[in-house]
């Protein structure tokens, strides 16, 4: 259920994304929450960028001091950057959205997710692939299996590894934040943890986020050795034996 005036922190991670980070931040500032009297903050973690990203983020913070907070760390990678920002959200934050610096939200994202939350622990929206040669323009995609079992989420193909959703802050804290030892799989690893803990998910087809395809993105830069090492750490983290999670190296 919602409090009378819920507070939402949208955590944005950034590393050398001067060309696109503005799209992400502006989409947070543009959030409309409809009939819900909510306050939305952008809490941005710059992960040691060496381009003009820090200056761009400072400008956003200077122009929107009541809505934008910027945290700077040095190359903690995706999970570490999210966790650093999670420590910097306003004290009364009830919900958290995680957003990559090259992605962005529909204007009604927060409002529709709040409408859908009910007594669930997280809300999963639609996703639109942007500039992805394997998907049609404006093709909206929902996760393949709703309310997955632990075995289903472990197998990857249910595509629960979308990192953009609205979470109750309390469940992220209870889960210990995102695991820094599994690289770009940290969102998939977190979903496995949520399912194992029995958290409840809600879904909405009334809003979406835009996932910007990049041919040299994090998941396409990792080597097979890195991929296998991350999956071994996921198996250790979840105290499982037997086969490694998910498919073989997807870039083969």
| Residue 43: inside a domain | yes
pLDDT of residue 102: 92
| Residue 234: inside a domain | no
pLDDT by residue (tens digit) across 44-67? 999 999 999 999 999 999 999 999
* Helix (H), strand (E), coil (C) string for 103-143: CEECCCHHHHHHHHHCCCCEEEEEEEEECCCCCCCCCEECC
Any idea what DSSP says for residue 215?
T
Q: Phi then psi for 40, rounded to 5 degrees?
A: -115, 125
pLDDT of residue 205: 94
With beta carbons less than 8 A apart as the criterion, state whether 111 and 34 touch.
yes
Task: Count CB-CB contacts under 10 A for residue 140.
Answer: 14
| Residue 241: inside a domain | no
**Residue 158 domain boundaries:** 7-215
| Residue 128: inside a domain | yes
Q: In total, how many domains does the chain have?
A: 1
Write the CATH number for 47. 3.90.550.10
- Which two structure tokens, joined as six digits, stand for 31? 């959030």
| Residue 77: inside a domain | yes
The CA distance from 155 to 233, in Å, is: 15
The CA distance from 12 to 42, in Å, is: 7
Give the N- to C-terminal CA distance of the chain in Å, as an integer. Answer: 45
pLDDT of residue 137: 60
Taking the chain (252 residues) in runs of 10, the rounded mean pLDDT of each run is: 91 96 98 94 97 98 98 94 97 97 96 96 91 62 88 76 87 94 90 94 94 66 85 92 79 52
| Residue 120: inside a domain | yes
pLDDT of residue 252: 45
| Residue 158: inside a domain | yes
With beta carbons less than 8 A apart as the criterion, state whether 205 and 126 touch.
yes
Complete DSSP assignment for 57-119: HHHHHHH-TTTEEEEE-SS-HHHHHHHHHHTTS-TT--EEEEEETT-EE-TTHHHHHHHHHTT
pLDDT of residue 218: 56
| Residue 232: inside a domain | no
pLDDT of residue 217: 56
pLDDT of residue 249: 73
């Amino acid at each position: 259920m919602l409090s009378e005036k819920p507070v939402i922190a949208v955590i944005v991670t950034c590393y050398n994304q001067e060309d696109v980070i503005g799209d992400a931040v502006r989409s947070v500032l543009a959030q409309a929450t409809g009939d819900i009297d909510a306050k939305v903050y952008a809490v941005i973690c710059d992960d040691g960028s060496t381009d003009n990203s820090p200056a761009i983020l400072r400008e956003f913070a200077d122009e929107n001091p009541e809505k934008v907070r910027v945290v700077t760390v040095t190359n903690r990678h995706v999970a570490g950057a999210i966790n650093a920002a999670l420590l910097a959200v306003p004290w009364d934050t009830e919900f958290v959205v995680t957003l990559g610096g090259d992605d962005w939200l529909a204007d009604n994202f927060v409002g529709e997710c709040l409408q859908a939350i009910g007594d669930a622990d997280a809300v999963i929206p639609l996703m639109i692939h942007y500039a992805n040669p394997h998907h049609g323009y404006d093709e909206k995609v929902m996760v393949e299996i709703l309310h997955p079992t632990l075995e289903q989420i472990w197998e990857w193909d249910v595509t629960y590894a979308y990192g953009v959703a609205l979470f109750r802050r309390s469940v992220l804290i209870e889960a210990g934040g995102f695991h820094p030892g599994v690289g770009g799989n940290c969102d998939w690893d977190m979903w496995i943890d949520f399912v194992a803990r029995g958290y409840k998910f809600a879904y909405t087809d009334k809003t979406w986020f835009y996932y910007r395809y990049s041919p040299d993105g994090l998941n396409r830069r990792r080597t097979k050795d890195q991929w296998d090492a991350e999956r071994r750490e996921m198996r250790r983290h979840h105290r499982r034996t037997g086969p490694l999670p998910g498919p073989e190296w997807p870039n083969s």
